[in-house]
Amino acid sequence: MKAITTSNRRPQCRALCALLLGIAALWALPSIARAQLFVSQSNVGSVGEYDATTGAAINASFITGLNRPLFAIAVSGNDLFVANSGGTTVGEYDATTGEAINASFITGLNGPLGLAVSGNTLFVTNNGDGTVGEYNATTGAAMNPRLITLSGPADLAVSDNHLFVVYNSTTVGEYDATTGAAINANLITGLLTSFGLAVSGNHLFVTNFFESTVREYNATTGTAINPRFITGLDEPDGLTVSGNTLFVSSVGSGLAQPSGNVGEYDASTGTAVNASLITGLNGPTGLAVGAVPEPSTWSMIAIGGVALLGIRHRKKHRTA
């Protein structure tokens, strides 16, 4: 008969398993981070960081010392681009810490109002000289600083190879994002002091500042889907879409007071999810949502290693 023996190695194996499991859990923490909503406040020259689900402030002074950052805010991976609309530069910042990577990433601009990123291309509107410029999103080098020339360009949005630009506060034009050629320079007309623009699939959303609305259009034809998609806003400025959520910034009528807010709406119906998601802002304009990080490779390896160790330990126990 085989003798049954006990080993003092069992507690040690259990302790090792627990230790490795703890390390894996800690390593996996960044993968469950919640989405960030970045909001520029032009009146105080800052960008704040908020929880995109609850509206809670993560860091209301995430980036400071800016020169009137208006709609010109965009995020790509861990890079946050912010333009000094009252100046001549676009800065690059760490989207996790807010630290400047290069505060003078792009220079020599003239009233940059809008930013949009597509792959490794950064598009910038220059309201002062009536152009949309194209820049390398990694180096800041100019690819074509006069990709498009038009009157009073403000915000812009890109989808596939289509670049949409609000200009003259009344019109949205559609352009080829590679060549700058006009696809339809008058895709949407008759707007009422429009600044903010966002695209989601075949839906194009535009703010109407003095009408206090957000309008919805067909991004292919420019036909109005719902000219009163969202109503009752208080001087809406900026827009951004994340999944089926549309965020809208409103300056608020009391410019001397921090009366601005960011509201959250259903991008399919326009129904308010939370019309006062973030309140007490001072001149909120630009909006951008940071993507939720995917589980890191190291966290998956660590968790897999713990599972493998557990399986091997169980097999040894059964054959003992």
Q: Is 193 within 8 Å of 208 (Cβ atoms)?
A: yes
Does 12 map to a domain? no
Which backbone phi and psi does 111 adopt, to 5 degrees?
65, 55
Does 306 map to a domain? no
CATH number at residue 125: 2.130.10.10
CA-CA distance, 313 to 256, in Å (whole number)? 67
pLDDT digits 0-9 by tens, 128-160? 999 999 999 999 999 999 999 999 999 999 999
For 98, the domain range is 33-290
* Residue with the larger pLDDT of the pair 73 and 306: 73
Number of structural domains found in the chain: 1
Does 106 map to a domain? yes
Does 28 map to a domain? no
**For residue 262, what are the β-bridge partners?**
249, 278
Does 26 map to a domain? no
- Checking if the pLDDT of 23 tops 60, the result is no
Lowest-pLDDT choice from 16-30, 37-51, 178-192, 283-297: 16-30
Lowest-pLDDT choice from 84-88, 221-225, 244-248: 84-88
Does 169 map to a domain? yes
- Checking if the pLDDT of 201 tops 60, the result is yes
Does 297 map to a domain? no
* Average pLDDT score, the chain: 85
Torsion of CA 254, 257, 259, 261, to 10 degrees: 110
Number of Cα atoms under 13 Å in the Cβ half of residue 171? 12
pTM of the full predicted structure? 0.82
Residue 320 makes CB contacts below 8 A (sequence gap 6+) with none
Does 14 map to a domain? no
CA-CA distance, 31 to 159, in Å (whole number)? 27
Percent of the chain with pLDDT over 70: 78
Which backbone phi and psi does 148 adopt, to 5 degrees?
-135, 140
Unique residue bearing structure tokens 């960030």: 36
Lowest-pLDDT choice from 136-150, 238-252, 303-317: 303-317
- Checking if the pLDDT of 217 tops 80, the result is yes
CB contact burial 243-280 (16+ within 10 A = b; e otherwise): eebbbbbbbbeeeeebbbbbbbbebeebeeeebebbee
Sequential DSSP letters for 243-287: TTEEEEEE--S-TTTT-EEEEEEETTT--EEEEEEEEEESSEEEE
**Helix 9-28 and helix 297-319, axial crossing angle in degrees, nearest 10:** 160
pLDDT digits 0-9 by tens, 108-135? 999 999 999 999 999 999 999 999 999 9
